[in-house]
Amino acid sequence: MIRNRHIIVVGLQPWDIEIGSNCKNMALELSRHNKVLYVNRALDRITALRAGNDAKTLRRKSSLKGETTDIQVVNGSLFTLDPRTVLESINKVPFAFLFDMLNRVNNKRLAREINSAAARLGFRDPILFIDNDFFRAFYLPEMLKGVTETIYYIRDNLTSQPYFKRHGARLEKQLMGKATMVAANSAYLARYARQYNAHSYDIGQGCDFGTETAPRPLPRDMQNISRPVIGYVGALISSRLDVTLIENVARAKPGYSFVLVGPEDDTFRTSGLHRLPNVHFLGSKPAGELGDYISRFDVCLNPQAVNEMTIGNYPRKIDEYLFFGKPVVATDTEAMHMFADYVYLCNGAESYQQGIDAALGEQGRENGMAVKRKNFALSHTWENCIAALGEKFIALNRSN
């Protein structure tokens, strides 16, 4: 466990992001035994223009004008910073040398604000924790005063995405290489990082289990849906989910109801799934109500598309399903292997059909799996995740 240190956390997500932010949860856990400064994403020029009336943009503008304080107190050992600077929007710059020059300017502006805040808070010899931000934080290990130890945290293969690929593919490798250690939330990403830093470790993933699994009300929009119910909860995004797989399985099982809860992208909105009478799109729901739906599913699905982005991702959704003791049918990826004793791993429509039938076959016979699933999910806490991070970090320091 890392204790009694000062830690500066820099990442892609602002503090006030909705539930599910890895970086925010890790910062909260770190603050239990350390003094932590969480740096909100600095305003960039394009965001200032395009999203000028967004609440987060307005808050950052207020900080820039000095109308609000740049440092906010979350608790006695955790603070957030709204940097009083504007960064240039440079991602579309085609030339590496020019991008690097402008990115250094951006990093220098951000470092000035962080150094000022850290000094006011009395930070000494801080650890720098970078959450996947290989652009704005690339030069911070050298620019932040007193920093001699940097932890780079990789939770997504962002460089597989077009926005990050042009410059991120080279910068992330370099940033991992100069970090003290790299922490990953899956074995796949840890192995990827180890190509560039031998001190790369899978520290697992924490999850939020804020809801009880006691009997929950049947959602009104599920009252006329016949059972068995095969359900999915989460964003319906074609880059992460296999639309064709879902459609083929739903067509092959016309007697089963397939319930999809979450916002749709254009591919899902125009897919043939909307023409199938046994497929029900229920739309977005407040986070606090999602458990009501999961608790009423007979089988939970994670029909993941397999690509560069998804293959190494930690499947947090599986923990959310298992917390309710539900049988789960999911795509077989390397990151899913740690769940192999608790879920049905499948490849292709026929395999999914067999997995769903096997899961439904559990009904009416008590085999203790519901309790085992819940207990396994509950072992994936932010406390355990940060403890694993601290164990690796301290062992590495002792060996140097």
Domain ranges of the chain: 6-206+381-399, 220-378
Number of Cβ within a 10 Å radius of residue 303:
22
CATH fold label, 220-378: Rossmann fold (3.40.50)
Question: b/e for 170-209, b at 16 or more Cβ within 10 A?
Answer: ebbbebbeebbbbbbbbbbbbebbbebbebbbbbbbbbbb
| For the chain, percent of residues with pLDDT exceeding 70 | 97
9 phi, psi to nearest 5 deg = -110, 120
Per-residue pLDDT for 148 more than 70? yes
CATH 3.30.420.40 matches 6-206+381-399: no
Per-residue pLDDT for 20 more than 60? no
Model confidence band, residue 385 (pLDDT cutoffs 50, 70, 90): very high
> What Cα–Cα distance (Å) separates residue 105 from each residue in 12, 113, 140, 198, 290?
18, 13, 11, 30, 43
Q: Is the separation of the CB atoms in 261 and 236 below 8 Å?
A: no
Model confidence band, residue 7 (pLDDT cutoffs 50, 70, 90): very high
Per-residue pLDDT for 19 more than 60? no
Model confidence band, residue 209 (pLDDT cutoffs 50, 70, 90): confident
Per-residue pLDDT at 212: 66
Per-residue pLDDT for 335 more than 90? no
In DSSP terms, 79 is beta-bridged to: 37, 73
DSSP string for residues in 17-68: PPS--HHHHHHHHHTTTSEEEEEPPPEEHHHHHHTTTSHHHHHHHHHHTTSS
With CA atoms as reference, report the closest residue to 149 among 3, 27, 5.
Answer: 5
d(CA 92, CA 188): 29
> What Cα–Cα distance (Å) separates residue 59 from each residue in 41, 72, 121?
12, 12, 21
- Tokens 């897919």 locate to 271
- Whether omega for the bond prior to residue 228 falls within 30 degrees of 0, making it cis, is yes
Q: Do domains 6-206+381-399 and 220-378 have the same CATH topology?
A: yes
Per-residue pLDDT for 54 more than 90? no
Per-residue pLDDT at 323: 94
Beta strands at 78-81 and 71-75: parallel, antiparallel or unpaired = antiparallel
> Averaged over 83-109, what is the pLDDT?
95
Per-residue pLDDT at 194: 97
Per-residue pLDDT at 246: 97
Least confident interval from 177-181, 264-268, 336-340 = 336-340
Number of Cβ within a 10 Å radius of residue 161:
13
Q: Is the separation of the CB atoms in 330 and 345 below 8 Å?
A: yes
